[in-house]
Structure 1
Amino acid sequence: MSTDVRPLPDSPLALPGKLPVWTAILWLFGLTAASIPLLGILTPTELVSAFWSYNSDQYSTVLAHFSWAPRVSVALLIGCALGLAGAVTQQVLGNPLASPSTLGVEAGGQFGITLATLFFPALLTFSPDLAAIAGGLLAIGLVIALTWRLGFSPVTVILAGLVITFFMGALNMAFLLLKGEWLGNLFIWGAGSLVQNNWQLFMDLWPRVLVIGIALILLMRPLQLLQLGQASASALGARVAAVRMTALFLVVLMSATVVSRVGVVAFVGLAAPVLARLLGARTLRQRLIWSSLLGSSLLLLADTLAQWASTWGNGALVPTGTTTALIGGPIILIALQNVRNTHHMPGQAANPAGFLPVRRSTLATASVIGALLIAVFLVSMGWSPGLDEWHWTPASEWGDAWVWRGPRLLAAVLAGVALGLAGTLIQRMTSNPMASPEILGISGGAALVMVVLALAGIQLDRTGQLVAATAGAGAALGLLILLARKHRFAGNQLLLGGLALYVFMDAGIRMVMASGSSVATGLLNWMYGSTWLVSDHEAIALLSLILLICGGLFLVVRPLTILPLGDSTASSLGISVGKARLLLLLLAALLTAAATVVIGPLSFVGLIAPHLARVLGQQTVGRQLVVAALAGGLLLAVADYLSRTVIFPNQLPAGLLAALVGGLYFLWGLSRHGRS
C-alpha cells in the first residue's frame, strides 16, 4: 500500500524530552479545566475521591461522583481509544493523514445505526455495536477499494474518505427528512455528546477498549515490518495482507464501539498521532503510547470546551463532537506541511488517458441537451401528481402554476449552469477531473455563515441571507488564496484547503442538528438544496449574475487551454501562472457562491457536468464550458422535478437528490481512474 521503504532502527530511538513534558502539560491543563466548575464547591481531595465514593448528604459530591467523574473518565477512555486507533491506521496505510474520521469509519458507524433504527430495531436492543461495526466496515472497505490501485496517496485517501463521509451523511439526512419523528433524537445524539449521569457507559466501554487495545498492541511487531515494504516484510515471514486487514478490522471495532455509545467524536484519531509526531515520536511503539495519552488529553480539553460553550450559550447544548471537529481543519493543514505526495492525483495518470471519446459537434450536442431541457420544463410545468392521481395542467393555467413551479425550476437550471461552469474551471485549472466546487470548500464557506447566523439567533430576510452567504463564500475564497498562494494555487493545496473548510462546516451542521429547533430544520432544508425557497426576484437576479460572469469567461479560454501543459510551458508562452489561476479561482468562486446562496452547498453537479461534457466528445475548453453548463442545468432541472414528485405530497431537497447521485458518480469515477 505504501511504497516507502524505511529501515527499522537497530536500537530504540531516544525519547525526546518535550514529548512527555507537553503530554503532562496537556493532561494537567485538561484535568484542571474540567475541574474548575467544581473547585469552588469541593476541595481537590474531595474531587479525586469522587471517582470512587460520594457523601449522600452532600449534593455536590453526588453530582461529582455520578456526573463529573464519569464524564471525565469516559473522555479519557475514548480519547485513548481513538488516539491508538488513529496511530495504527496511519501505520497500516503509510499515510500521516489517515484516521477513522478521514476514512469515513465514524460516519459509516452512524449510518449503520440509522439503518438499524429504521429497519432492524431489535438489533439495537441486542447490541448497538453490531450495526455501527457493519457501517464502519462498509465505509473503510469502500475507501480501500477505491484507493488501492492509486497507492493510498494522502490526497487520494482524503478525497475518497471525504466523499464516503459526505455520501453517507446525505443518506442519513434523507432518512431524517423522511422519518424525522423516528430519527430526530438519533441525530441529536449522533452529534457526539459525553454527558453522563452514572457510571454505566464507562463500565460498558472499558473492557471492550482494553481487549481491542491489547489486540492492536500485539500486532505491533508485524506492523513494524510493514515499514520495510511489502516484498521485504513477506520475505521475513509477515503475512502483509492478513496483518493489514486484521489491523483495520480492529480499528473499525474500536471506532464503531465508540460511535455506537456517544456518537461521532471526530478527528481525535487524526490529531493525536499528528501531535505525537510533531513532538518527536519516531518509533511505532512511541507513536502508539503517546498517541493514546495525547488523545485522552485532547478529548478532555474538547469536552471541557463544549461544556463552557454550553454555559455561555445560556444552557443550549454544544456537542463534544462539534468542538473536536473544529480542530480537524487546522490539524489537516499542519499534517500536510511535511507530506510528500509521491503518487498522482486522482485522474492524473502518468501515461496518456486510455479513454478518449470521439469528438462530436458542439452544436448538435448542445441542441440535444437543450431539447431535453425544454422537455423537462414542459413536463415539470404540466405533468404532476394531485391529491387523487397524476394529471396534466393545461397550458392556459401555467400562469397560475408558475408561482409554485416556475421560480424553483428556473433557479435549479441556473444553479446547474453555474456549477457546471465552475466545475469546468476548477478541473481545468487543477488538471484534476475529480475536483469540484463542493470539495474546493467555497460552498462550505457560504453554508458556515448561515449556520453561525442560525445558532446566534439572528433572523435575516431572504436578501440578508443571500448577502451573508455570499460574504461567507468570499471569506472561504480569501482563506484558500492565503493557503495556496505560495504553491501558485496548485491543485493539491486547493483541494486539501477546501477539505479543511468542509471540516468546519461539518462541525456547524452537527451543532445545528443537536439544537433540534425549527430554525435548524429550515436551515438544513436550505443546506441540502431546497429549491422551494426561491422567489421570482432571486431567480432573475441569479440569471443576471450568471450572464455577467459568462461574459468574462471569454477571457480565460486561452489560459485554461495552456495551464494543463505545465507551469514552465505556460510561463514560456506568456501566461502569468499565479495570476491566471487566481483569476480562474475568482470566477469559479463567484459562480459557486451564486448557485450556493440559492440552492445550498451540497451537490456534486460541479463534478458531474464537466465529466458529461467530456464523455459527449467536447474536449476543448470553450466547447466543454458550453456543454457542461447545459448539462448542469439539465441535471438540476430533473432533480428539482423528482424532488417535488417522488414522495408527493412531501418533498425532498433537490440538492440532496443530486448529492446522492453525484456521490455515487464520484466514487465510480475515482475507482475508474485508478485502473491501469
Structure 2
Amino acid sequence: MSEIARWTSTRQRPSRPFYPLVLAALVVIAAVVLLRLADPLSTLMRATGAKEAESASFLLWQLSLPRLLAALLAGGAFALAGTVFQAATRNPLASPDLLGVTAGAQAGMLVGLAVPALRPLAGPPLLFAFGLGAAALALVAAGGWRAAPLRLLLAGGACSLLFSSLVTMTLALFEQNIAGVALWSQGALYQPGAQGLKTATLWLIPPIAVLPFLLRPLEALALGDDAARSIGVAVPFTRLLAALAAAALTAAAVAIAGPIGFIGLLAPNLVRALGLYDLKTVAPLAALTGAALLLAADGAVAGTGLSTGLSTTVATALVGTPLLLALVARGRMPAPTSRGDVATGGRTAPFLVVALACALALIALCAFGLAWGEAWLSPARLVDAVSGRDPIAALILDIRAPRIAIAALTGAMLAASGVVLQSVIRNALAGPEIIGVTQGAALVTLTGSLLWPLLGRPGAFGLALSGGLATLGVILAINYRQRFEALRVALTGLALGGLFAALTYTLIVETSAQPARALIWLVGGTYGRSWADALALLPWFVATLPALALLARPLDLLALGDDAAAGLGLPIALIRGLALLLATILASTAVAIVGPIGFVSLLTPHLARLLGFHRHGARLPIAMLLGALLTVTADIVGRAALAPTEIPAGALTALIGAPYFLWLMIRRPATRDDHR
C-alpha cells in the first residue's frame, strides 16, 4: 500500500496503544515544566525580605509561568492547525507553513503595525484575515482541496514568497518598524504580554470548541467526497469550517509566538509515523507533540542564557530539521514524482526570433534604466555624460550603470542555475532558493562578513561557494537512494532553508549594528554596488558560458532517463556531478554580490519552456535572457518608483514572479504526472 493510501485509510488500526502515548507525552511535558519552574520556585522559597519576595513572585507569575503557557498553547495550536489542514485536503503536507498561512499572518501583523487605522486589529483578527487569504490563494492555485502534494508545496511556496515580499516592501516604506518586526519574526514566546496572551487564548476557544464536531466529518473525507456525501457529510461546509478553524488556530499561535515554523507540518506526521491514523487519536497526540516540541525548543533557548529569547525559531528549527529530514530519508513522507513543470507546453517559436527580441528588449530596458530615475537623463545628457561635458550626469550614470550591469549578469546566472538544477535532478522545484542552496550561501557569506568586516570580494566568493556546495551535498546525500524524487528534494531543501534562514536572522539581530541594512541584503538587491563588483562577477559569468554550452547536449540525453543515457555512452555520474557543481557556482557567486535574490531561477526556466524551448541548447540562452530582463526590470522599478525610498530588487522579483507563477498554475490543470 502506498504511503498516501495508508495515510488516508480510516480502517487502519493504531499499531501502538493510544493512552500510554498520551501519558508519556504528558509526563515529558510535566517534567520539562517542573524543570523550568524549579529555579523561580526555589528563589521564591528562599526569599526573606518583602522586596525580594515580590521580585521572586514577579519572576514566577509574570515571566516564567506565562512563557511556559505560551509555549504549550502556541505549539499545540500550530500542530492542531496542521492536523486540520492535512485532513481537509487529504494531504500530509498541508501545514500552515507550506500553505503560506504563517507568512500571510506575518504580513497582517506588519500591516497592522504600519497603518495607524488598523492598529486596534493588529493581533489575531488581522492575522486571521491575512492567513486565511493566503491559504485560499494557495489552494486555488494548486487546484483545490484535492491538489497533489507537489502542486500544493509549489503553490504554498509561491504564496510565502509573495507575502514575504509584501513585508519587505512595507518595511522599506516604514523603516522605523524594521527592528521590531525583525525581532518579532524570530519567534519570541509571550510576546504580547499578559493581556495579549489572554486575548490570544480567547481566540483559541472557538476553533478548539468546533474541533470535536469536525473530526468525524473530516475522517469521512478520507473515503472520498462521494462516499462522504453518501453518509450525510456536507463536504463544502466541512472544508470551509476546517479552513476557518485552522486559520484561527494559526492566527492565535502566531500572535503568541511569532511565525515559528515546522511544528504544524512535523507534529501530525510524527504521530502518524508511529502508526496512528485515526483523527480522534492523531489530533490530541499531535497537539501534545507540538506543545512538547516548542516547549523543548524554548527550554533550550532558556538554557543558553539568552535573556531576549530571540532564538526560539532557531531552536525549533534545530529540533525540527533533523526530525523532518529523518522522516524524508526513511520514506515516511509521501513522494510522488513529477516529470512536468508548471509551464509546460506552448507553441514552439523560432529560436533566433525570440532570442533577438529578448536581446533587443534587454538593451532598450537598460538604456531606459540609465535615463529613468529620480533624476531624468535625456539622450542629450547621456551623450554629454559619456563625453565628459556634464559631470553631474556622468556621476549619476556611474551610479546607475554598474547596478544595471550587475542585475543583468546575476539574473542570467540565476536563470542558468535553475535550468541546470531542474534538468539534472529532474525536479520542477529544483531552483537554488527552493532547495536551500542560496540560503546556505547567504548564511556563510553573512557570517564571514560579520566576523571579518574587511572581507574582500575573493573571500566573499569563497564563502558563498562553500555554503552553497555544502548545502547541495547534504541534499543529495539524503535523497540519493530515492533517486532525487521531486517532493523529497523539495522537503529537504525546505527544512534546510528554514534552518538557515532562522540562523541568519538571529545572527543579524544578535550581532549586527545595522539590522536594516543586513535584512535588505538578505532580500537581495544591487544597492551600493559599483563597477568593481561588476568586474569581479564578470569572469565567473564568462567562465561558465563554455561549460553551459558543452553541457547542453548531455543534459538533453539525461532527460531521456539514466538507462537510456548510459546506453548511449554518457558518463552519467560525471555529467551529473559537473552540472551540479556548475549550477551551485552560478547561484553562489551571484549571492556573493547581490544577496539571495529569489524566484528568478525558479520562474525563468518555466517561461522558456512555455515558449516551446525544451532542448538545452535553446532553453539555456532564452532563460538567461529572461532572467536578465526580470532582474533589470526589478532593479529599475525598485530604484525609481518610490524614490528616494528604494525597494530591494529581490522583493520585486518575487512580487513580479509569484503572481505570474500562481497564474500559470491556475491556467494549467493538474496532470497525471502531478499525482505520480
TM-score calculated relative to the size of structure 2:
0.88
Structure 2 matches for 1:417-456, cutoff 5 A? Answer: 417-433=412-428, 435-453=430-448
Which of 22, 26, 29 matches 1:27? 29
Which whole-Å deviations, capped at 9, do the CAs of 1:228-279 have from their partners, x for residues lacking one? 2222221111122221221121000111122234421222222222222234
Equivalents in 1 of 2:354, 2:362: separation in Å? 12
List runs of 5+ in structure 1 lacking aligned partners: 48-53
Equivalents in 1 of 2:175, 2:85: separation in Å? 35
Q: Is the 8 A contact 2:465 2:589 kept in 1?
A: yes
* Structure-1 residue corresponding to 2:383: 395
Which whole-Å deviations, capped at 9, do the CAs of 1:270-328 have from their partners, x for residues lacking one? 2222222234433221111111112222111112222334x25xx55524233224444
Equivalents in 2 of 1:493, 1:580: separation in Å? 22
What's the % identity of the aligned pairs? 30
Identify if the C-alpha distance between structure 1 residues 30 and 673 changes in structure 2 by more than 3 Å, giving closer, same or farther.
farther
Which of 55, 62, 69 matches 2:58? 62
Which whole-Å deviations, capped at 9, do the CAs of 1:630-670 have from their partners, x for residues lacking one? 22222222222222221222322222211211122222222
Local SS of the residue matching 1:41: helix
Letter in 2 for 1:133: F
* Structure-1 residue corresponding to 2:674: none
* Structure-2 residue corresponding to 1:345: 338
Structure 2 matches for 1:442-591, cutoff 5 A? Answer: 442-453=437-448, 458-463=452-457, 464-511=459-506, 514=509, 518-591=513-586
* Structure-2 residue corresponding to 1:410: 405
Identify if the C-alpha distance between structure 1 residues 279 and 643 changes in structure 2 by more than 3 Å, giving closer, same or farther.
same
Q: Please state if 1:293 is matched with 2:288.
A: yes
Identify if the C-alpha distance between structure 1 residues 219 and 438 changes in structure 2 by more than 3 Å, giving closer, same or farther.
same
* Structure-2 residue corresponding to 1:50: none
Equivalents in 2 of 1:372, 1:127: separation in Å? 44
Local SS of the residue matching 2:664: helix
Letter in 2 for 1:395: V
Q: Is the 8 A contact 1:274 1:331 kept in 2?
A: no
Equivalents in 2 of 1:654, 1:348: separation in Å? 25
Q: Please state if 1:250 is matched with 2:250.
A: no
Which of 184, 188, 201 matches 2:183? 188
Could you tell me how far 1:515 is from its partner in structure 2? 5.1
Segment drifting more, 73-82 vs 530-539? 530-539
Q: Is the 8 A contact 2:613 2:619 kept in 1?
A: yes
* Structure-2 residue corresponding to 1:110: 106
Q: Is the 8 A contact 1:419 1:605 kept in 2?
A: yes
Equivalents in 2 of 1:275, 1:286: separation in Å? 13
Equivalents in 2 of 1:489, 1:95: separation in Å? 21
Q: Is the 8 A contact 1:422 1:588 kept in 2?
A: yes
Letter in 2 for 1:188: L
* Structure-1 residue corresponding to 2:391: none
Identify if the C-alpha distance between structure 1 residues 359 and 431 changes in structure 2 by more than 3 Å, giving closer, same or farther.
farther
Could you tell me how far 1:426 is from its partner in structure 2? 2.2
* Structure-2 residue corresponding to 1:375: 364
Q: Is the 8 A contact 1:83 1:272 kept in 2?
A: yes
Which whole-Å deviations, capped at 9, do the CAs of 1:75-131 have from their partners, x for residues lacking one? 112222222222222222222222212211111112122223334x34431563221
Which whole-Å deviations, capped at 9, do the CAs of 1:532-552 have from their partners, x for residues lacking one? 333323322321112112212
* Structure-1 residue corresponding to 2:264: 269
Could you tell me how far 1:187 is from its partner in structure 2? 3.9
Which of 90, 93, 96 matches 2:89? 93
Which of 638, 648, 662 matches 1:643? 638
Identify if the C-alpha distance between structure 1 residues 256 and 112 changes in structure 2 by more than 3 Å, giving closer, same or farther.
same
Structure 2 matches for 1:106-255, cutoff 5 A? Answer: 106-119=102-115, 121-125=116-120, 128-148=123-143, 151-182=146-177, 184-195=179-190, 199-255=194-250
Letter in 1 for 2:539: S
* Structure-2 residue corresponding to 1:608: 603
Segment drifting more, 627-636 vs 180-189? 180-189
Q: Is the 8 A contact 2:186 2:310 kept in 1?
A: no
Equivalents in 2 of 1:348, 1:467: separation in Å? 33
Structure 2 matches for 1:289-368, cutoff 5 A? Answer: 289-309=284-304, 311=305, 315=307, 317-336=309-328, 337-339=330-332, 341=334, 345=338, 347=340, 355-360=345-350, 362-368=351-357
Identify if the C-alpha distance between structure 1 residues 183 and 541 changes in structure 2 by more than 3 Å, giving closer, same or farther.
closer
Equivalents in 1 of 2:44, 2:7: separation in Å? 55
Q: Is the 8 A contact 2:37 2:65 kept in 1?
A: no
Segment drifting more, 195-204 vs 366-375? 195-204
Equivalents in 2 of 1:413, 1:10: separation in Å? 55
Local SS of the residue matching 2:643: coil
Segment drifting more, 168-177 vs 231-240? 231-240
* Structure-2 residue corresponding to 1:51: none
What CA RMSD, in Å, does the superposition of the two structures yield over aligned residues? 3.1
List runs of 5+ in structure 2 lacking aligned partners: 389-393, 672-676
Equivalents in 1 of 2:78, 2:85: separation in Å? 10
Q: Is the 8 A contact 2:525 2:597 kept in 1?
A: no
* Structure-1 residue corresponding to 2:374: 385
Could you tell me how far 1:527 is from its partner in structure 2? 1.8
Equivalents in 2 of 1:494, 1:536: separation in Å? 37
Q: Is the 8 A contact 2:191 2:257 kept in 1?
A: no
Could you tell me how far 1:622 is from its partner in structure 2? 0.3
Identify if the C-alpha distance between structure 1 residues 339 and 195 changes in structure 2 by more than 3 Å, giving closer, same or farther.
closer
Letter in 2 for 1:461: L
Equivalents in 1 of 2:106, 2:339: separation in Å? 28
Identify if the C-alpha distance between structure 1 residues 634 and 282 changes in structure 2 by more than 3 Å, giving closer, same or farther.
closer
Letter in 2 for 1:357: R
Q: Is the 8 A contact 2:96 2:264 kept in 1?
A: yes
Identify if the C-alpha distance between structure 1 residues 395 and 166 changes in structure 2 by more than 3 Å, giving closer, same or farther.
same
Equivalents in 1 of 2:76, 2:344: separation in Å? 46
Equivalents in 1 of 2:29, 2:288: separation in Å? 8
Equivalents in 2 of 1:513, 1:458: separation in Å? 15
Identify if the C-alpha distance between structure 1 residues 271 and 451 changes in structure 2 by more than 3 Å, giving closer, same or farther.
farther
Equivalents in 2 of 1:483, 1:56: separation in Å? 54
Equivalents in 2 of 1:9, 1:303: separation in Å? 37
Local SS of the residue matching 2:433: helix
Q: Is the 8 A contact 2:92 2:269 kept in 1?
A: yes
How many pairs align? 656
* Structure-2 residue corresponding to 1:624: 619
Which whole-Å deviations, capped at 9, do the CAs of 1:596-636 have from their partners, x for residues lacking one? 11121132121333233334443321011122222222222
Equivalents in 2 of 1:271, 1:675: separation in Å? 26
Identify if the C-alpha distance between structure 1 residues 348 and 384 changes in structure 2 by more than 3 Å, giving closer, same or farther.
closer
Identify if the C-alpha distance between structure 1 residues 64 and 151 changes in structure 2 by more than 3 Å, giving closer, same or farther.
same
Q: Is the 8 A contact 1:23 1:293 kept in 2?
A: yes
Equivalents in 1 of 2:122, 2:615: separation in Å? 56
Q: Is the 8 A contact 1:413 1:637 kept in 2?
A: yes
Letter in 2 for 1:447: A
